[in-house]
Structure 1
């Protein structure tokens, strides 16, 4: 499996659900067919109610899909929003940031979610970006590496030298380093295009920064932040990377210090998002909503709610940071 070959090809990173929809949309013409397809999405958060201040809300539905990092907070925001806007149903799906970008561009969904910066000037000029918050990627471990730290160059070597899901490491003082033989650790990565993995790939740099030049890596792929977290939790002496919110939700894994930033907690990440030197800046990233062109009245209403002070508690609940917290 290619470690980061798919990272910068958002259109190749479409989830199975969205990929199927794309094929059907291409094959079947007409708005009626698209409407039928949209109805095939299963709802993770689906209650109905009567539309507060949005017009024509009695039959209004918002479909949000994309980043699995953004998904947990989107689900909480959807529940809270529907409670105050009866008649509007908000459906939330995952699929990865690549899926969120592609399906928004194709008008398959109303709001895309991406846990990465999105170039809406050159690469995706039809999209509008709405930053709702921020977070950070952290390296996690389970087993003998707990309590040790590492660096960007050592992580690069560990992923670069991974064979059949295993990489060698050595202990040097308080740090673990890459090795060519000796003790092995199981190494996990994301199996689909995602903002989490793209952020980590750019941080590693070198060959990983350009997908076209990456040799195939044999780190083990897992789907979504939840999949990587579960894989590390279930595998003693393992290493992976997830969003901060997922890491702190676990009682099994430990966050690894990187590049001298050894006390990685909520304050360190939040202060870094606000511009302070408290964590590795290259591992932080925005949490974005995307719309195809100008948002509709209902889309804008939901986005405004996600960016309001009332929404901060939902970001905090899943370990993320609202735009209100650091803007």
Structure 2
């Protein structure tokens, strides 16, 4: 009988240890904050997410692209924690801005980028518009090399594309061309394709491509702050009216002095507080 009770107690201990291991694994899994949308904003959210997770063990920030349109539709449906967008919700068809909270976390400049072999380092606003609307088709027509212009657009619903067409093309639509859903991919194609031109946020532009002046104005953060460079947008992290505690905490972290003073400028963005002008949409 004594041996039987020992076996029963042993079995109970094994069960309790099993529950302990299950709870340990569940704690390891933790919780996840999913942010989806703008690829222009993605580097900042990823960097902030890594720091936030270090300070908040068990909370993982999952950041995905897909474009501003996707971010806005996903957050409106409640499918994600945060919808990253280069656009105001009011600018996107089918989005009810009254259901969302707009957290403006930074400003980003957007610049045309040109393949280095095109022989072009300066454009006028009219030339840029004529290129993307198909009126100018060879770089030779504006002082460059005898090279056919290859337009690389962002996908429909991209906040970068909508901003570019609104402020660089005076609300005209670009002609049909190949489309890319990633700023990084667009830059890579321009860098390796003779005659190519596209547009990306400042944070994605590098020495592999040419960032032309526009009407003599350089694409710099200082010129964005004063609106001398007019192709820019706010970076929004939209949440629902009632978001969970971890999401609210992460938004506050992104808006904190540490992120705004360090990560934002370090990654090529501009703190909203540094802007000398304001746009309502």
TM-score (norm 1): 0.68
Q: 192, 196, 205: which is aligned to 2:160?
A: 196
Secondary structure of the structure 1 residue equivalent to 2:243 = coil
Determine the structure 2 residue equivalent to 1:111. Answer: 82
Indicate yes or no: 2:127 matched with 1:154: yes
Determine the structure 2 residue equivalent to 1:240. Answer: 198
Deviation (angstroms), 1:148: 2.8
Evaluate the alpha carbon distance shift between residue 315 and residue 277 of structure 1 in structure 2; reply closer, same or farther with a 3 A threshold. closer
Q: 117, 130, 148: which is aligned to 1:184?
A: 148
For the pair shown, the structure with the greater C-alpha radius of gyration is 2
Indicate yes or no: 2:108 matched with 1:138: no
Deviation (angstroms), 1:192: 4.0
Moved more, 72-81 or 117-126: 117-126
Determine the structure 1 residue equivalent to 2:208. Answer: 252
Looking at structure 1, the residues matched to 49 and 215 of structure 2 have their Cα atoms a distance apart, in angstroms, of 37
Deviation (angstroms), 1:284: 0.9
Looking at structure 2, the residues matched to 206 and 65 of structure 1 have their Cα atoms a distance apart, in angstroms, of 26
Determine the structure 1 residue equivalent to 2:35. Answer: 64
Determine the structure 1 residue equivalent to 2:221. Answer: 266
Looking at structure 2, the residues matched to 325 and 295 of structure 1 have their Cα atoms a distance apart, in angstroms, of 28
Q: 218, 231, 238: which is aligned to 1:290?
A: 238
Secondary structure of the structure 2 residue equivalent to 1:119 = helix
Secondary structure of the structure 1 residue equivalent to 2:208 = coil
Aligned length, in residue pairs: 247
Deviation (angstroms), 1:234: 1.1
Looking at structure 1, the residues matched to 208 and 61 of structure 2 have their Cα atoms a distance apart, in angstroms, of 33
Normalized per residue, which structure has more helix?
Answer: 2
Looking at structure 1, the residues matched to 91 and 67 of structure 2 have their Cα atoms a distance apart, in angstroms, of 18
Q: 157, 170, 173: which is aligned to 1:205?
A: 170
Determine the structure 2 residue equivalent to 1:229. Answer: 187
List gaps (5 residues or longer) in structure 1. Answer: 1-47, 51-56, 177-181, 209-213
Indicate yes or no: 2:98 matched with 1:125: yes
List gaps (5 residues or longer) in structure 2. Answer: 1-24, 277-281
Deviation (angstroms), 1:183: 4.2
Determine the structure 2 residue equivalent to 1:44. Answer: none
